[in-house]
Structure 1
Amino acid sequence: MPNLFHPPIFSQWRDDFTAAIAGVLVSVPQSMAYGIILGGVMGNAWGGVGVLSALYGSVLVGLLTALFGGCPMMVTGPRASTSLVLATLVGQLLRSRALTGLVDPAPTALALASVAVCLAGMMQIVFAVLRLGRLSRFIPYPVITGFLNGSALLILASLVWSATGVPKQSSVAALLWHLDEIRPATLALSLTTAAVILAAPRLFKRAPAPLVGLVSGCLGYYGLAALGFGPAAGSTVPPLPDHGAVRLVIGQVGGLLAGSDAAELWTLLLPAALSIAALATLDTLLSASAIDALTLRRSNGTRELLALGLANAVAGLFTMMPGSGGMARTMAVLKGGGRTAAAVLLTALLTLAVTIVLAPLISYLPQAVMAGLLLTVGLGLVDAWPLDLARRLIRTRGGQAAARFDLFEVLVVVAAAVLINLPAAVAVGALVSLLSFASRMARTPIRRCYRASGLAARLSGDTERQVFLRHHGHRIAVIEIEGALFFGTVSEVEARVDELIAEGVSHLVLDLKRVSSIDTTGARALERLNAKLARVDGFLALGYLEQERRSRRGDGFGDDDRRRQSNSRRLWLELDLPGTLAKLGSDRLLPDIDQAVAVCERHLAQTLATQADEVPAAGTMPILHGIGRDGLRQLRPYVTRHVFRTGETIFHQGAAPDSVYLIALGRADVVIDLPRTDRKLRVQTLVPGTVFGEMAVIDPKPRSANIVATAPTRCWRLAAEDWHRLQVEQPDLAFRLIGNVAMIFAERLRAANTLLVELEA
């Protein structure tokens, strides 16, 4: 079923329409900027074709994914990575032998590149059918960072000519021989536009930053033109072609793909298609995960990938740019008030209206202003983490091998992107990932997982901790990890922790005694685990990881100092270099498991409403308030002690009210049988010092609930006949007990009133 029926289409159309306008204001400038990248490769006269291809691509891909995708609130469209791959492919095709004889090879190159887009869509469909999208989680963080930084450098390099006004040369380095041709007005306009876009979020809270930058840049350009400096500020975007230029490509290139130069063409098309498919899939799945966290919904990654593959395949047939999920467009819709998938659909439809109605105005956009917009896109892709890692490695004189390898991965992928092309960077990144995985591959990292309740028997002489762990230890889990904690194994640890949290665990101890290394992806996973546990008022402790108090430069260690080479110190450095330890805090680093569990116990005790399972003094029990030692001696002959096993029912719902109970040790749940069903509802947990069944001394009606022991429980029981005997033989004591029961009822009534007030408020 299409997404628009879940919830019904236009069920909140006012909010969705407003959100769609916000989405268009962000999506259209972005799509135009990516179209300029494509048009720039084809030649200045074809810049309008690239813009039109990008705008129509955002419309088509946005419509199909909104209707049939698995992440209803995701807004799709052209992205920087796939746009660069497509532009690189067009440039390669223009230089190919198959197109050298053509008078104007640009349209044919675009048609051939669109075949790669179509193939990429088909590959995405195969990815979805084979459930290959899950492989994206095995891409290490340094490879992703390297690709993003490589893409950023390529975008910035492509802007050199339009931002400076210098005629395009064979390479960026050639600018050094043409510095005298730089147009200061053009460069100033580009930089000013970029600065306005970067500053806009702080100055204009509601207006989209790209729109503010475009308007400001256009005002500046035409202001210069009015003063007679128009030529110095550069030219405008070439006029858009007729909308019919977006047409079916098969008839245009079918002969070339089957001709004598077919092998050369397919050698270019297939790697590019695979790169576009892989990058679009990665972008989409990562965005879907982020959107799920924002909307508190669970998307269907397979369905989203199927819809995206279909959309890109159709887009490729009509020379449109490929699309994928992105956070900038989606955040604009969400912040604009979007509530249903209709907001995403309206974003695509409004983009179509803008493309058709306002297309003539696009040719009035200055190229220097568009260069400024693209400059912010390139800067937005930069991930500064490798620079921070390099700085930390220099400060620590080389650091650990894992950190050095992470930095090496980043540099290799960036070098492949800049020196060869983006498809090569994708291939190199995949190869580096495989080599890294093979070099660190080990068996499952989870050696053993157990609850802290099993440690109670080891705490001889510490009664309080024994009692606490017996009855609350199930909320503290210990996971022993062995081998390397890296990008190939962290997903299993995270999945196990998710299961534990679902089972009621809120406090986690990771035993790192047998861990050989932790890479950056593993360090980031520890940060995510800490955040997950914090959401359930929990705590993450790391065992066998002492805080390093000596200099990280190695000062103070002799060549034979074993501490310098210890596993604890090595893990500490591997977590400190990415900044993970600073985010977790030093209070979570413990030298052994016993101390780590003890820290979790203290934290858990603070979050509980009562100190669990302590044996309260008689004077602190509400039912025995004011009785005194003499009163207890008088009461003793009338009560009997009973012990109940875990899971044993103390009394059943509907049973005759024959006695009153007082919990001395243990824990029990109040469970109600729901009428006309087999279901049961737990409404309360009873702890030591609690009296229950006291209605038996007042109301002869049947019991209203079941009482089930959830731990070994010891109770004192006052039978109905003994109560009547106590009233006759010890009337003062009986009167005191009745007064205490009345006080208990009064406290419960007061609590109920408070709850009602809070609910009404």
Structure 2
Amino acid sequence: MTNPFKFDFSNLKGDFIGGLTAGIVALPLALAFGDQTALGAMSGLYGAIAIAILAALFGGTNTQVSGPTAPMTVVSASVIASAMLEVGVTDAYEAIGLILATFFIAGAIQVFFGIIKLGRFIKYIPYPVVSGFMSGIGVIIIITQIFPLLGYDASQDVELVTGKLPIAEEQILEGIIKEEAQDGVLKGVMDGTVIQETNARFSAVTAEDIETRAGKLAQRQSKGTVGVFQLLTRPFSFPGGINWLNLLLGIGTVMIIYGFKRITKAVPSSLVALVVLTLVAVFFVEPGAVPVIGAVDGGLPQIRLSFFAALFDLGNLGIILNFGATLAALGAIDSLLTSVVADNITKTKHDPNQELIGQGIGNMGAAFIGGLPGAGATLRTVINIESGGKTKISGIVAGVFLLAVLLGLSGVVSYIPKAVLAGILLTVGIGIIDYKGLRHLRSVPIGDAAVMLVVLGLTVFVGLLEAVAVGMVMATLLFMKKSADIVESEARGESLTEFSQEKPWADEGDLIKRLGDRVYIKHLDGPLFFGFVSSFQAIMRQLPNLEVLVIRMREVPYIDQSGLYALEDAILDLQKRNVAVVFTGMNDQIRDMLERINLIPGLVDTEYVFKDFKTCRSWLSERLEEGNLDQVSDRQQDMPAKIGDNIDEA
């Protein structure tokens, strides 16, 4: 593992600018993610500060900028809601011990993952699972922002709240009985005295108390995906259901975020929207006309140690471990995928196990100050790299900047309209959906498409951990079936070896000897699938300088969606290096897949796809003798990369 305390000061200016830029981007997102949960906007900022600094200090990816992310926030909101239900309260801070204990355990589990070197297994998560999961997160965020954009407050919906009154009474009575049990009042069978005391305490509960709890129950229902569908018509069914001024602020936020990017990307558009529309609300909107964040605690966050008591409560251990494992697994996947993105941009190699330890320590630290857990954030990491960040100092700078904002501007946060945060989250949800994967649903193998759709549906309507678990099982079964089919048809399907000096096949003769280092022939000897993608990408990165790469696919029986996209990325990278790419010997299934997603002829023209190596060998000899090989790479570079379109990342 890497040394977390080894600093590189050779790029101090670039790291400062990169970290500062990433911190500016993180500010509105942290507040928006916090406001998505019952802990409030400041919990997102607290988490962003702790995780950014600690994960950068102890992590294994030099350019990673961490903090609350969309997937982690969705799960955190579910953890908070479940903890409140378990304790029987409607105020999140009444269940803060159980909530923070869960967040702390999630970080501890991530540290454990790193210690037992579980990070190396991230490469075995297939693309359809990741795609369906991320798209499902995007859909959840979009759905749950409908009511905040409309300004609909379920707690003010009299008809809805009235329907919750019996449940509220029942919960209050259960809470009283539970308190008495904890205080030792209930011993064995309840006698008349205890019943009288319980009745006396329940009689002291006012109608206002019951109505307040019923309002919070209604509000909690309106924050869930299923609840939004159940209450979708409510904003239109009673007077004042839609706050049109609130809706205009939300729409204005979305327009500024997308429109300002067309003007300049030097300043984060989400920050521009946050500042501009908050000023509009302060100076031009009557106080109370739109919901705002409201009063927040200023100065340094409170250190919370009381959650340790919840760790030793055996009655709560089940929910802590269940949700803690969910957050830990999700955070590990989220962070390591971002690390892979950073590696691809910087051409470096992260330490996955050290990264898990860093993320775990960051989440444990966030729990101590009441912050949301998080993970490596793709958008912030990419912005850090593009702005000059190269070492872990950049991630620390991002966290220190947010800390400075907390100390100096926390009073301003109370004036931010919730509609603005909803608009920011709406664009995050739209950006996180994997449009490329959805666009190719009809083109990829039906099994991959089914996995993606099932994971997406389970993510939205059931749960995140369940979605990933089911997706992994489905992908594994599909791969096992495909492998069995290959064996039955007597096709070769052994594992591909790591990059090494290629041994010529019999039909290649002395071609390599004659052509020297101008042409490289790469033999692929098995299925190009999700488990091999990482190794394949490493092979492509290690290729020496050359003029043309011949990829022999005679022994490749099958390619899945992960393999398709890995092949696409490799070709795009090689063409940037002026390397021409040609294929030989691919079977009908593989060629059909490449044509369906327009890799052929979108990136590699059909004239460079040879049925057998004999034809390719003649073509190579002819081109080399005539000196026309440069024309091939130039022509390939001019081809439109129609399947390489990038999508915005959240």
What range is the shorter-chain TM-score in?
Answer: 0.7 to 0.9
What is residue 84 of structure 1 aligned with on the other side? 74
Q: How far, CA to CA, are the matches of 1:286 and 1:77 in structure 2?
A: 15
Q: How far, CA to CA, are the matches of 1:87 and 1:249 in structure 2?
A: 21
Matches within 5 A, 1:596-607: 596-601=616-621, 606=627
Larger RCO: Structure 1 or Structure 2 (Cα < 8 Å, ≥ 6 residues apart)? Answer: 2
* 1:55 alignment partner, one of 24, 36, 45: 45
Please give the per-residue CA displacement for 1:26-62, whole angstroms capped at 9, x wherever unaligned.
Answer: 1111111110111xxx3xxxxxx43222212221222
Q: What SS does the aligned partner of 2:553 have?
A: strand
Please give the per-residue CA displacement for 1:589-642, whole angstroms capped at 9, x wherever unaligned.
Answer: 211122234445566664889xxxxxxxxxxxxxxxxxxxxxxxxxxxxxxxxx
Q: Does 1:206 align with 2:269?
A: no
What is residue 129 of structure 2 aligned with on the other side? 143
TM-score (norm 2): 0.76
Q: How far, CA to CA, are the matches of 2:474 and 2:530 in structure 1?
A: 13
Alignment-mate amino acid for residue 116 of structure 1: T
What is residue 528 of structure 1 aligned with on the other side? 569
Q: Does 1:154 align with 2:211?
A: no
User: Would the alpha carbon gap of residues 600 and 198 (structure 1) be closer, same or farther in structure 2, given more than 3 Å must change?
Assistant: farther
Q: Does 1:182 align with 2:239?
A: no
Q: Does 1:485 align with 2:528?
A: yes
Q: How far, CA to CA, are the matches of 1:32 and 1:602 in structure 2?
A: 63
What is residue 205 of structure 2 aligned with on the other side? none
What is residue 690 of structure 1 aligned with on the other side? none
Percent same amino acid among aligned pairs?
A: 26
Q: Say whether the 8 Å CA contact 2:502–2:522 is kept in structure 1.
A: yes
What is residue 333 of structure 1 aligned with on the other side? 384
Following TM superposition, by how much is the alpha carbon of 1:80 offset from its aligned partner in structure 2, in angstroms?
A: 0.8
Matches within 5 A, 1:247-286: 247-254=304-311, 257-258=313-314, 262=315, 265-286=316-337
* 2:553 alignment partner, one of 506, 509, 512: 512
Q: Say whether the 8 Å CA contact 1:77–1:325 is kept in structure 2.
A: yes
Q: What SS does the aligned partner of 2:459 have?
A: helix
Please give the per-residue CA displacement for 1:201-245, whole angstroms capped at 9, x wherever unaligned.
Answer: 1113321111111122223323541xx5x544x211032246554
Following TM superposition, by how much is the alpha carbon of 1:295 offset from its aligned partner in structure 2, in angstroms?
A: 3.1
* 1:439 alignment partner, one of 474, 478, 481: 481
Following TM superposition, by how much is the alpha carbon of 1:300 offset from its aligned partner in structure 2, in angstroms?
A: 2.5
Q: How far, CA to CA, are the matches of 1:144 and 1:408 in structure 2?
A: 13
Alignment-mate amino acid for residue 611 of structure 2: P
Question: 4+ residue stretches of structure 1 with deviation over 6 A?
Answer: none
Alignment-mate amino acid for residue 156 of structure 1: I
Q: Say whether the 8 Å CA contact 1:15–1:339 is kept in structure 2.
A: yes
What is residue 200 of structure 2 aligned with on the other side? none
Q: How far, CA to CA, are the matches of 1:602 and 1:492 in structure 2?
A: 33
Bigger drift between 437-446 and 65-74 goes to 437-446
Q: How far, CA to CA, are the matches of 1:328 and 1:469 in structure 2?
A: 46
Residues paired across the two proteins, number: 542
What is residue 187 of structure 2 aligned with on the other side? none
Q: How far, CA to CA, are the matches of 2:470 and 2:14 in structure 1?
A: 45
What is residue 313 of structure 1 aligned with on the other side? 364
Q: How far, CA to CA, are the matches of 1:445 and 1:5 in structure 2?
A: 38
Following TM superposition, by how much is the alpha carbon of 1:105 offset from its aligned partner in structure 2, in angstroms?
A: 4.9
Q: How far, CA to CA, are the matches of 2:414 and 2:309 in structure 1?
A: 27
Q: Say whether the 8 Å CA contact 1:451–1:477 is kept in structure 2.
A: no
User: Would the alpha carbon gap of residues 118 and 388 (structure 1) be closer, same or farther in structure 2, given more than 3 Å must change?
Assistant: same
Q: How far, CA to CA, are the matches of 2:517 and 2:384 in structure 1?
A: 45
Following TM superposition, by how much is the alpha carbon of 1:453 offset from its aligned partner in structure 2, in angstroms?
A: 8.5
Q: Say whether the 8 Å CA contact 1:454–1:470 is kept in structure 2.
A: no
Matches within 5 A, 1:299-698: 299-390=350-441, 393=442, 403-441=445-483, 443-446=493-496, 450-451=502-503, 455=507, 457=509, 469-472=513-516, 475-482=519-526, 484-497=527-540, 501=543, 507-534=548-575, 536-545=577-586, 567-568=587-588, 570-581=589-600, 582-601=602-621, 606=627
What is residue 638 of structure 1 aligned with on the other side? none
User: Would the alpha carbon gap of residues 584 and 284 (structure 1) be closer, same or farther in structure 2, given more than 3 Å must change?
Assistant: farther
What is residue 287 of structure 1 aligned with on the other side? 338
Alignment-mate amino acid for residue 609 of structure 2: L
Q: How far, CA to CA, are the matches of 2:272 and 2:32 in structure 1?
A: 15
Q: Say whether the 8 Å CA contact 2:525–2:555 is kept in structure 1.
A: yes
Bigger drift between 332-341 and 145-154 goes to 332-341
Question: Structure 1: which 5+ residue stretches go unaligned?
Answer: 43-48, 394-398, 458-465, 546-566, 610-761
Q: What SS does the aligned partner of 2:558 have?
A: strand
Alpha-carbon RMSD: 3.0
Q: How far, CA to CA, are the matches of 2:352 and 2:53 in structure 1?
A: 17
User: Would the alpha carbon gap of residues 449 and 412 (structure 1) be closer, same or farther in structure 2, given more than 3 Å must change?
Assistant: farther
Q: What SS does the aligned partner of 1:583 have?
A: coil
Q: Does 1:126 align with 2:112?
A: yes
What is residue 8 of structure 2 aligned with on the other side? 7
Q: Say whether the 8 Å CA contact 2:54–2:365 is kept in structure 1.
A: no
Following TM superposition, by how much is the alpha carbon of 1:177 offset from its aligned partner in structure 2, in angstroms?
A: 3.5
Alignment-mate amino acid for residue 439 of structure 1: K
Question: Structure 2: which 5+ residue stretches go unaligned?
Answer: 155-217, 222-226, 485-492, 631-650
Q: How far, CA to CA, are the matches of 2:608 and 2:539 in structure 1?
A: 20
User: Would the alpha carbon gap of residues 210 and 467 (structure 1) be closer, same or farther in structure 2, given more than 3 Å must change?
Assistant: closer
Q: Does 1:65 align with 2:55?
A: yes
Q: What SS does the aligned partner of 1:516 have?
A: coil
User: Would the alpha carbon gap of residues 597 and 288 (structure 1) be closer, same or farther in structure 2, given more than 3 Å must change?
Assistant: farther
Bigger proportion of residues as strand:
1
User: Would the alpha carbon gap of residues 386 and 471 (structure 1) be closer, same or farther in structure 2, given more than 3 Å must change?
Assistant: closer
Following TM superposition, by how much is the alpha carbon of 1:92 offset from its aligned partner in structure 2, in angstroms?
A: 1.9
Alignment-mate amino acid for residue 195 of structure 1: M
Q: How far, CA to CA, are the matches of 1:273 and 1:437 in structure 2?
A: 30
Q: How far, CA to CA, are the matches of 2:17 and 2:532 in structure 1?
A: 44
User: Would the alpha carbon gap of residues 3 and 222 (structure 1) be closer, same or farther in structure 2, given more than 3 Å must change?
Assistant: same
Following TM superposition, by how much is the alpha carbon of 1:473 offset from its aligned partner in structure 2, in angstroms?
A: 7.3
Alignment-mate amino acid for residue 411 of structure 1: L
Q: How far, CA to CA, are the matches of 1:316 and 1:35 in structure 2?
A: 14
Q: How far, CA to CA, are the matches of 2:551 and 2:512 in structure 1?
A: 20
Q: Does 1:236 align with 2:237?
A: no
Alignment-mate amino acid for residue 36 of structure 1: D
User: Would the alpha carbon gap of residues 308 and 480 (structure 1) be closer, same or farther in structure 2, given more than 3 Å must change?
Assistant: closer
Following TM superposition, by how much is the alpha carbon of 1:537 offset from its aligned partner in structure 2, in angstroms?
A: 3.9
Q: How far, CA to CA, are the matches of 1:176 and 1:528 in structure 2?
A: 45
Following TM superposition, by how much is the alpha carbon of 1:72 offset from its aligned partner in structure 2, in angstroms?
A: 2.2
Q: How far, CA to CA, are the matches of 2:321 and 2:483 in structure 1?
A: 30
Q: Say whether the 8 Å CA contact 1:413–1:429 is kept in structure 2.
A: yes
User: Would the alpha carbon gap of residues 247 and 106 (structure 1) be closer, same or farther in structure 2, given more than 3 Å must change?
Assistant: same
Bigger drift between 128-137 and 314-323 goes to 314-323
Alignment-mate amino acid for residue 247 of structure 1: R
What is residue 562 of structure 1 aligned with on the other side? none
Q: What SS does the aligned partner of 1:517 have?
A: coil
Please give the per-residue CA displacement for 1:119-149, whole angstroms capped at 9, x wherever unaligned.
Answer: 2222222222222212111111111111111
Q: Say whether the 8 Å CA contact 1:59–1:349 is kept in structure 2.
A: yes
Q: How far, CA to CA, are the matches of 1:454 and 1:425 in structure 2?
A: 47
Following TM superposition, by how much is the alpha carbon of 1:4 offset from its aligned partner in structure 2, in angstroms?
A: 6.8
Alignment-mate amino acid for residue 363 of structure 1: S
Q: Say whether the 8 Å CA contact 1:37–1:87 is kept in structure 2.
A: yes
Q: Say whether the 8 Å CA contact 1:452–1:476 is kept in structure 2.
A: no
Alignment-mate amino acid for residue 552 of structure 2: D
Q: What SS does the aligned partner of 1:239 have?
A: coil
